[in-house]
């Protein structure tokens, strides 16, 4: 009976670990886009819940979780929840890679809802 319990626990651990494996291949966020392209295609990107990847700088804090983000093609509002803030300090001179979901409302600014922030290489 003891061996059966050990086998069952081992099977559960193996199943749990394989269920949490991470995909490391190409994805929709492999290619970097621009602020200009995001704004141009915001309606479609919002409908599909596609994640976008953009590289640039957080240039200004607007309020608790809203910032202006800028690349060479323009600027866009980004929402960074407290839990999604990076563990490293950054300022307006720190080049970042942001992966986010596009939020498009006809009567408001296009906004990116940030999922991940990394320092650009």
Model confidence over 17-75: pLDDT tens digits? Answer: 444 555 454 455 678 999 999 999 999 999 998 899 999 999 999 999 999 999 999 99
Q: Quickly list DSSP for 14-36.
A: HHHHHHT----S--TTSS-B-HH
Domains of the chain are 27-119 (2.40.50.200)
User: pTM of the full predicted structure?
Assistant: 0.75
Interacting residues of 36 by C-beta distance below 8 A, sequence separation 6+: 73, 74
Confidence check: pLDDT of 9 > 70: no
Q: Are 110 and 74 in contact (CB under 8 A)?
A: no
Instruction: Please tell me the predicted confidence (pLDDT) of residue 14.
Output: 47
42-52: b or e for each residue (b if 16 or more CB lie within 10 Å)?
A: beebbeeeebb
């Amino acid at each position: 009976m003891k061996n059966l319990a050990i086998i069952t626990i081992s099977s559960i651990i193996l199943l749990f670990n394989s269920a949490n494996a991470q995909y490391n291949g190409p994805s929709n966020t492999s290619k970097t886009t621009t602020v200009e392209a995001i704004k141009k295609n915001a309606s479609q990107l919002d409908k599909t819940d596609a994640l976008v990847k953009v590289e640039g700088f957080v240039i200004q804090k607007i309020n608790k979780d809203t910032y202006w983000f800028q690349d060479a093609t323009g600027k866009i509002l980004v929402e960074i929840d407290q839990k999604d803030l990076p563990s490293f300090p950054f300022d307006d001179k720190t080049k970042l890679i942001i992966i986010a979901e596009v939020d498009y409302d006809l009567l408001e600014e296009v906004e990116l809802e940030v999922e991940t922030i990394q320092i650009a290489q």
